[in-house]
Amino acid sequence: MTRCEFYTEGDRITGFCVSGHSGYAEAGSDIVCAAISAIVSMAEATINDVCGAKAKVRVKEEDARISLTLPVSCDEEESVQAVLAGMMLTLCSLRDDHPDYIEVLEV
């Protein structure tokens, strides 16, 4: 199962960590894992490359883990929060369709 954790302070999403394999199908055929990877990649690219937020990203391929931590403040805060909220909603929709393979948590 893939675990998607969103870190919050008050109403602000401060980052996320996505870890694990969904187990929906074999590697290379796992549509749930592919969807999660696309969602995470789009969010990270938008936050850092489009909005210029300079979020810290850590990838541990051996643990199938990626985490993103926002700086204390960013110039494009409203846009970054919109991207993270959209990411969370999209992952929740995927979870609703495949509840045995993905969990989404706010911590």
Q: Which domains does the chain have, with CATH numbers?
A: 2-106 (3.30.70.1490)
Give the separation between CA 103 and CA 46, rounded to whole angstroms.
23
Q: Which residues pair with 103 in a beta bridge?
A: 3
Within a 10 A sphere around the Cβ of 70, how many other Cβ atoms?
22
Percent of the chain with pLDDT over 70: 100
Predicted TM-score (pTM) of the model is: 0.95
Average pLDDT, integer, range 51-66: 96
Closest CA to 4 of 73, 88, 77, 64: 88
Residue 95 has pLDDT above 90, yes or no: yes
Average pLDDT, integer, range 78-92: 98
Q: What is the pLDDT of residues 14-30, one digit of tens each?
A: 999 999 999 999 988 99
CB 13 within 8 A of CB 7: yes
Q: What is the pLDDT of residues 70-79, one digit of tens each?
A: 999 999 999 9
Closest CA to 25 of 105, 104, 107, 98: 98
For the purposes of burial, counting CB atoms within 10 Å of the CB of 37, is it exposed (0-12), middle (13-18) or buried (19 or more)?
middle
Task: Say which residue the tokens 């959209």 belong to.
Answer: 86
Task: Say which residue the tokens 């929740």 belong to.
Answer: 92
- Average pLDDT of every residue of the chain: 97
What is the pLDDT, as a whole number, of residue 27?
A: 87
